[in-house]
Structure 1
Amino acid sequence: MDFTLDPRHEALRLSVRAFVAEHLLPIESDPATYNEYENIRLALRDELRVKARAAGLWAPQVSQERGGLGLSMVGQAVFYEEANRCVFGPCVFNSAAPDDGNMRLLEMTATEEQKARWLQPIIEGEVNSSFVMTEPHPGGGSDPGMTRTRAERYGDSWKIYGHKWFISGAAIAKHFILIARTDDNPDEKRRHLTAFLFHRDQPGWRIVRRIENMGPDEHGGVCELEFDGLEIPDSCRLMEVGDGLKVTQIRLGPARLTHCMRWLGVSKRAMEIAQEYVSRREGFGVRLADRESVGLALGEVAHEIQMGRLLVMHAAWKLDQGDRARKEVSSAKIHMADTLHKAIDTAIQLNGARGYSKDTMLEWMYRYARCARIVDGASEVHKMVLSRFYAKEGDDYWSWG
């Protein structure tokens, strides 16, 4: 097993790191950088996107033919980890959720006509997108089999009726991918959903509210939506009728892993902030860095981050081999959600009141990190997935195959 990065990936890693250091880290402490939702202003984001694209650091998950870098999942792991050394990195490099997962899905499954209309504008940075799946009780969440939003066929069109919520990016998105029920048979668990594409300006739906949360908010927040007869031409159906569950599986597996890649970058940044401070701060005549308790705390987090990197790389490698890597992605997701929180919490503790204040990015990162154990499947759901695999496979669960 050779973990040496190939020359292209190493060159990209260094380029991303240099770009982040030069263009992104310096603006984190400037209040003028932020919008009312504590994220980078979109106008400033777009200025920096021009620089990122000129530097050849654009859309790493998209094929070169369509204007991206065409990186494998392993290559994306290298890129994303460095990109999220700054909290603004992913959106500047056009590799932020939910757009990155939507681009990957559309490139894999859309027709050429659909790619030209729905995918290419996202790649170009002209529009943001959203994936519309989660519903309030008793609708679908981690269990898409509970989906209640329905699509009714009328000739060459479909009409959508239903209710969705916690839809990431919806407040600014223009292109939407919607999951709806097309089979009313309650016993049908595999072919009951279908995916559709629609534009923000189409009538028959509305944003009920932008849901306030701990924040800071991703661009477009998380929103509650209602559908009351949104009409979608059949030409804007993604894949075949009944393929909606397949669409969610194609999208969510890699998207969960790219979350983990980004969380590695945030975790390492928290360690940087902590290490810099304890190296110069003294108390009772001793540098904090020279106290055994501080060294143990930092060493434990470093240990957890390195385990996370190995889990992420293994899952990325499996995906590159054509495997769905469900076990590997779930393991990485569980571990990195916990590690992200632990790294930032430890850094805040070691920085004391400074860490709790807005003098560093740590309090921003801490609030951001709490959603990691919920987003794209709660940790408990992923543990349930692993339990089912173990019950089925026994000792083969740990096969090297």
Structure 2
Amino acid sequence: MNTTPRPGLYPASVEDLRQRTRDFIRNTVIPAEPRPGQALNVAVRRELAAAARDAGVFAPHVPVEFGGQGLPVEHWSPVFQEAGYSPIGAAVLNCMAPDEGNMHMLNLIGSDAQKQRFLVPLAAGEISSCFAMSEPHPGAGSDPDALSTTAVRDGNGWRITGHKRFTSGATFAGFAIVMARTGAEAAKPGSTGPDGTGQAGATMFLVPMDTPGVRIGAPIHTVDRYLPGGHPHVHFDDVLVPDSAVLGEAGLAFKYAQVRLGPARLTHCMRWLGLARRAMDIMLDRANSREIFGAHLSQLGIAQDMIAQSVIDIETSDAIIAKCAALLAVDPKAGSALSSVAKVHVSEAVYRVIDRAVQLCGGDGVSDGLPLIQYLNEVRPFRIYDGSTETHKWAIARRAASTRRRAVENGEPFQGAAHIHEGER
């Protein structure tokens, strides 16, 4: 199998960046990878990031004016997949979550002053960031409209109080983008919950992590290891921020969250699909070299089925990512809706591919002699992070039923009617 993501289907400039990224990851990053399950050394990451800048592959998604490669969203996938071929590749290239999603949103809705203060050093890799939305039950989690962190007016600023958890990257972050409920005083048209209903008046704030009242809480120990900064609790205890800390407009946080979360879900899919391709290559190398029962594994029917199913999972994932990215470029709202479908399919498909690779490699697959079992640990949480598979399926089904209901109300024929009438006769 050729594991190159869709070669020859991109403009020459995109193909050039993809190829240079591929070469950099395989020749420079992979030899510097830590042992499976170990974190990337900070000093090594800085050296690799400097090398990425020299190679012209650093921050592929960031506009050129902020030091990136200026790649448009519809062409992110082939480059992000190449970065994801190494579990540390996206971090080295500064296109890893949550920074990548925060950069994208800052570029779209940040003021000029906010871009200079936060986006410029973030894009340069001088600082990192976190996105503080998820909260302990009964606060915001799968249901963002359950947001319980509050921000109240105080003179020319706001006081933020709340408890966040799974705040990925917070331990080393220079600032957080904090979602807080600001009530009717900050409500704006279009500021309702993500499904168009619910309470209005939530706002996003840019909060430096050294602001008085911001406190890193207990770490949350998860099976994934490669994200710098972990997923700790973060407490905001009467944190005073100025009006200039408001990102975009007050009251529009739920709307902005969709601006961020749609592309962020999809870039997770891109990166993890790159890692699935790596696992596929490891599986194929084993299948082509390991003999059992008088034949290579690749010649045995049961192994061939595993390989074929993995090829199908990779190709269908690549296709839906490409469609969703193209849609995000022209219709962000529709693209965000389709990103739920992509997230469900790709997160499940990537897990299946890597799990099959582990299985086919047998005892070596579950040892640290190969990186596969750690890859499985890295991708397993993706079926929960950024919305669990079940939550997205619920939203997908609701949208499908609602879309069809509106179509019928607008005069489109009800296709089941003939069958119903036939049964009545």
Q: Give the TM-score taking structure 1 as reference length.
A: 0.94
Question: What are the Cα deviations for residues 27-81 of structure 1, in whole angstroms up to 9, with x where unaligned?
Answer: 33x54xx8xx722111101100000011110111111111111111221111101
| Counterpart selection for 1:365 from 375, 379, 385 | 375
Quick check: 2:261–2:336 contact (8 Å CA) kept in 1?
Answer: no
Are 2:66 and 1:56 aligned? no
| Counterpart selection for 1:6 from 11, 15, 26 | 11
Alignment match, 2:26: 21
1:189 shift after superposition: 2.8
Closer, same or farther in 2 for the Cα pair 1:8/1:17, shift >3 Å?
A: same
1:16 shift after superposition: 0.8
| Counterpart selection for 1:290 from 274, 299, 307 | 299
1:340 shift after superposition: 1.1
Closer, same or farther in 2 for the Cα pair 1:168/1:111, shift >3 Å?
A: same
Structure 1 residues 101-180: aligned runs within 5 Å: 101-180=101-180
> Separation in 2 of the partners of 1:3 and 1:16?
15
Give the secondary-structure state (helix, strand or coil) at the position aligned to 2:86. coil
Larger Rg over CA atoms:
2
Instruction: Count residues with an aligned counterpart.
Output: 391
Alignment match, 2:280: 271
Are 2:238 and 1:229 aligned? yes
In structure 1, list runs of 5 or more residues that go unmatched: none
1:355 shift after superposition: 0.7
Opposite residue 53 of structure 2, the aligned amino acid is: R
Indicate the larger mover: 276-285 or 300-309. Answer: 276-285
1:336 shift after superposition: 0.6
> Separation in 1 of the partners of 2:238 and 2:402?
43
Quick check: 2:82–2:274 contact (8 Å CA) kept in 1?
Answer: yes
Structure 1 residues 277-316: aligned runs within 5 Å: 277-316=286-325
Are 2:98 and 1:88 aligned? no
Quick check: 1:16–1:82 contact (8 Å CA) kept in 2?
Answer: yes
1:312 shift after superposition: 0.2
1:394 shift after superposition: 2.7
1:292 shift after superposition: 1.2
> Separation in 2 of the partners of 1:230 and 1:323?
33
Quick check: 1:140–1:148 contact (8 Å CA) kept in 2?
Answer: yes
Give the secondary-structure state (helix, strand or coil) at the position aligned to 1:222. coil
Closer, same or farther in 2 for the Cα pair 1:289/1:395, shift >3 Å?
A: farther
Question: What are the Cα deviations for residues 236-255 of structure 1, in whole angstroms up to 9, with x where unaligned?
Answer: 11111101111211111100
> Separation in 1 of the partners of 2:224 and 2:277?
21
Q: Give the TM-score taking structure 2 as reference length.
A: 0.88
Quick check: 1:168–1:220 contact (8 Å CA) kept in 2?
Answer: yes
Are 2:262 and 1:253 aligned? yes
Opposite residue 118 of structure 2, the aligned amino acid is: W
Quick check: 1:190–1:242 contact (8 Å CA) kept in 2?
Answer: no
In structure 2, list runs of 5 or more residues that go unmatched: 1-6, 408-425
Are 2:87 and 1:77 aligned? no
> Separation in 2 of the partners of 1:7 and 1:199?
40
| Counterpart selection for 1:239 from 236, 244, 248 | 248
1:390 shift after superposition: 1.3
> Separation in 2 of the partners of 1:313 and 1:396?
28
Closer, same or farther in 2 for the Cα pair 1:396/1:14, shift >3 Å?
A: farther
> Separation in 1 of the partners of 2:46 and 2:396?
41
> Separation in 2 of the partners of 1:184 and 1:234?
17
> Separation in 2 of the partners of 1:64 and 1:218?
26
What is the root-mean-square deviation in Å for CA atoms of aligned residues? 2.0
Quick check: 1:128–1:172 contact (8 Å CA) kept in 2?
Answer: yes
> Separation in 1 of the partners of 2:254 and 2:204?
8
Closer, same or farther in 2 for the Cα pair 1:203/1:177, shift >3 Å?
A: same
Opposite residue 258 of structure 2, the aligned amino acid is: Q
Alignment match, 2:400: 390
Give the secondary-structure state (helix, strand or coil) at the position aligned to 2:87. coil
> Separation in 2 of the partners of 1:342 and 1:8?
33
Question: What are the Cα deviations for residues 200-240 of structure 1, in whole angstroms up to 9, with x where unaligned?
Answer: 11111211111111222410000101111111111111111
Give the secondary-structure state (helix, strand or coil) at the position aligned to 1:391. helix
Opposite residue 70 of structure 2, the aligned amino acid is: G
Alignment match, 1:379: 389
Closer, same or farther in 2 for the Cα pair 1:320/1:39, shift >3 Å?
A: same
What fraction of aligned residue pairs are identical, expressed as a percent? Answer: 37
| Counterpart selection for 1:198 from 197, 207, 224 | 207
In the TM superposition, structure 1's runs of 4+ consecutive aligned residues that sit over 4 Å from their partners are 184-188
Indicate the larger mover: 322-331 or 337-346. Answer: 322-331
1:396 shift after superposition: 9.6
Question: What are the Cα deviations for residues 110-137 of structure 1, in whole angstroms up to 9, with x where unaligned?
Answer: 1001110111110111100000000011
